Structure 1
Amino acid sequence: MTVPKVGIRLPPCAPAGHLVRTVRRAEELGFDQAWFPDSQLLWRDVFTTLTAAALGTERIGLGTAVTNLVTRHPAVLASAARSVAELAPGRLTLGLGVGNSSVGPIGLRPSTGAEMRSGFAQLRALLNGEDWDFGGTVSRLREPLPVPLYMAASGPRNLRLAGEIADGVVLLSGVSPEPLAGASARVREGADAARRGRVPLVASAFCAVTDDVERAARRLKPICASIAQTGGARALALSGIELDVPDRVDGVYPDLVHAEDWDRAVEICSRWVSDEAATAFARAFCLFGTAGEIRTRLRELGDGGVGGVYLQHVGSYDLPEELIETVGRDVLPALREDG
């Protein structure tokens, strides 16, 4: 039996002191990793947050899930990552994505595959102390420090690219067996094409420890609608969830996944996502259920080749303190004993 590492997503939505206490509590309860998203208009700066977390903890792994190469130049990212890694030796993972919630609110476009490939090459070279030609100006990073580079991906092309260029992949397809297997296969294709070995996988999953999945699942409606809206309708259909969500949904700011008024977003998305569909989504794609059910799913993920799982609560502007407590108390101790 293989037990995956268990991480928690912590949006930088609170003052540093509050956030550090939360990370420290996750460390005390046995979480392996704390992942911080990066979106400059939604939250506090992710590297300032990581610095505070690094100074306030001793063991827990720290990472970005995720930053991007649009609002942050690769040279700036390399310096920031190296600086945090010095404070938390061996604990930092730099996760990168195309930039959705960072670029959309300021009218920029996400990174293309070619831009991701180039950015990864620049970052890796700089963090390894190699020279890089910036359009005729050759420079290098003083006192470099290598940092693992992970790529978040969901679509087939980006999954293959991640398998080709990244040190690890954050899978954004949830934990439903068929979509997860398909995503893992695309990563392997990319790794095989590049003649690389096995690429570590981290699966993201919304999580709630509850004995009333139907009630808790209603809050997932904006997440479910967003997946259907952005190319995930086929993956949902594999689990019997048929949705037809319009390309544009008015009345939600800044977007469905990061809605400031979550109750309003749930109400709006109820037009397309029924209670039954939300429950099916919670059971198939998320880790919603009793502590025992969640432990079983985590073991299955580990046995299926997933090396890490990072848990998310529903919401972007409060810390997942309740989730940390319930998972830390009711899930992790028995899971570790089994492992």
Structure 2
Amino acid sequence: MTSSTDRTETPLDAAPGAAAPRLRVGIRIPPCRPVGELVEVVQQAEALGYDQVWLPDSQLLWRDVYAVAAAAAAGTRRIGVGTAVTNVVTRHPAVVASAARTVAEVAPGRFTLGLGVGNSSVQPVGLRPSTGAEMRERVGVIRALLDGEEVDFLGVRSRLRDPAPVPLHMAASGPKNLRLAGEIADGVILLSGVAPDNLAASSARVQEGAAAAGKAGRVSMTVSAFCRVTDDVPAAARELKPICAGIAQNGGGPFLALAGVHVDVPQHVPGVYPDLVHAEDWELAVRACDRYVSDEAVTAFARQFCLYGTPEEIAARLAAVAQVGATAVFLQHVGSYTLPDELLSTFAREVSPRLSAAPAR
């Protein structure tokens, strides 16, 4: 990878005389390589004009998310850095608050603490994801500590020295967690993809929670979606079979069926480690899912829930995303152990200028 001064790709904001993009654009960077390489990729994202990089947290799969976030923040000047997402099971809320405060000090105003129920962090070590009640309680503890308040820890009252305000975002997909996220978080990372009806329903649940907490209209929404620029969606969509199957395994089968994507997957698919969504051998996982996810179903999934298509098609889908009130999009490539080099440059070069040229809403 070249240094930031050598890159020639078109920056996201480089369209001369164009209006600002409707959505803030972020991209997922799994911490799957040595820290120095990861910092270079974040620097490239900054040079290309991306607004945010999101770093997932799974201690057995990747480098420590807070160490990488601090290094990325120190190596950049403008781009936002966020966790997408960390958890409050393997990490005590007090530890999360301290880590978040530390990264925020490195990059004032640029760090976002994204939180979720755990999944790939907790299940490989024999723990279970957080319940809604646990998320409510533990996110409340983190917020109180970052606000400089005292917290009761099993009868011991303690506070965080040198606190710093950090925006808290919560990832959610189901109706209960979407409403909870709208209630307790500053922002929500929507995991329901870009299917218009589902996205509108998810947005409504978030706003219900925000209204219940007296902050209607003040909760930002970031839409997470797998993305590939292609003029052959059926061929490209095959790589999404483990993603589609993983959603069905986690209770999303009825949700997919509402959009005409019918998938029937057992709770365990043998031979895939550690799970379908984070498979170490992706081609093996794709082949293992062939019997459960048809080519027609995964093509429908790519078209309905993901940003798969030509630059013009992706730009149009993102315009629709903006119309439901989303403030940002969070792009993902397929794969947990590779960096998004192709997506990083292709989206900036081919899709972003079309976003920049669109009128602001």
The 4+ residue runs of structure 1 with deviation greater than 4 A are none
Which residue of structure 2 aligns with residue 113 of structure 1?
Answer: 132
Which residue of structure 1 aligns with residue 340 of structure 2?
Answer: 320
Give 1:258's match in structure 2, choosing from 275, 278, 282.
278
Equivalent position SS for 1:102: coil
Pairing 1:92–2:111 present:
yes
Pairing 1:35–2:54 present:
yes
Normalising by structure 2, report the TM-score. 0.92
Pairing 1:21–2:43 present:
no
Equivalent position SS for 2:113: strand
Q: Quick one: distance in 1 between partners of 2:128 and 2:263?
A: 26
Deviation, structure 1 residue 113: 1.0
- Cα shift readout 1:163-218 (whole Å, capped 9, x = no counterpart): 11011100111111111111111112212222222211111000001111111100
Q: Quick one: distance in 2 between partners of 1:151 and 1:184?
A: 14
Which residue of structure 1 aligns with residue 3 of structure 2?
Answer: none
Q: Quick one: distance in 2 between partners of 1:112 and 1:281?
A: 28
Deviation, structure 1 residue 334: 2.9
Number of residue pairs aligned between Structure 1 and Structure 2: 339
Q: Quick one: distance in 2 between partners of 1:109 and 1:211?
A: 40
- Cα shift readout 1:203-240 (whole Å, capped 9, x = no counterpart): 10000011111111000000001111211112211221
Deviation, structure 1 residue 248: 1.9
Which residue of structure 1 aligns with residue 191 of structure 2?
Answer: 172
Pairing 1:222–2:242 present:
yes
Which residue of structure 2 aligns with residue 140 of structure 1?
Answer: 159
User: Structure 2: which 5+ runs fail to align?
Assistant: 1-18
Q: Quick one: distance in 1 between partners of 2:241 and 2:206?
A: 28
Aligned partner letter, 1:59: R
Indicate the RMSD between aligned Cα atoms, in angstroms: 1.1
Q: Quick one: distance in 2 between partners of 1:272 and 1:107?
A: 27
Aligned partner letter, 1:171: L
* Range with greater deviation from structure 2 (183-192 or 249-258): 183-192
Contact 1:26 1:328 in 2 (8 A): no
Q: Quick one: distance in 1 between partners of 2:309 and 2:199?
A: 19
Structure with the bigger percentage of helix:
1
Deviation, structure 1 residue 88: 0.6
Deviation, structure 1 residue 14: 0.6
Deviation, structure 1 residue 105: 0.2
Aligned partner letter, 2:34: P
Normalising by structure 1, report the TM-score. 0.98
- Mapping 1:188-267, distance limit 5 Å: 188-198=207-217, 199-267=219-287
Deviation, structure 1 residue 157: 1.1
- Cα shift readout 1:31-56 (whole Å, capped 9, x = no counterpart): 11000000000000000100110011
Q: Quick one: distance in 1 between partners of 2:295 and 2:262?
A: 13
- Cα shift readout 1:88-132 (whole Å, capped 9, x = no counterpart): 110000000000000000000111111111111111111011111
Q: Quick one: distance in 2 between partners of 1:130 and 1:16?
A: 34
Aligned partner letter, 2:243: I
Which residue of structure 1 aligns with residue 5 of structure 2?
Answer: none
Deviation, structure 1 residue 136: 1.4
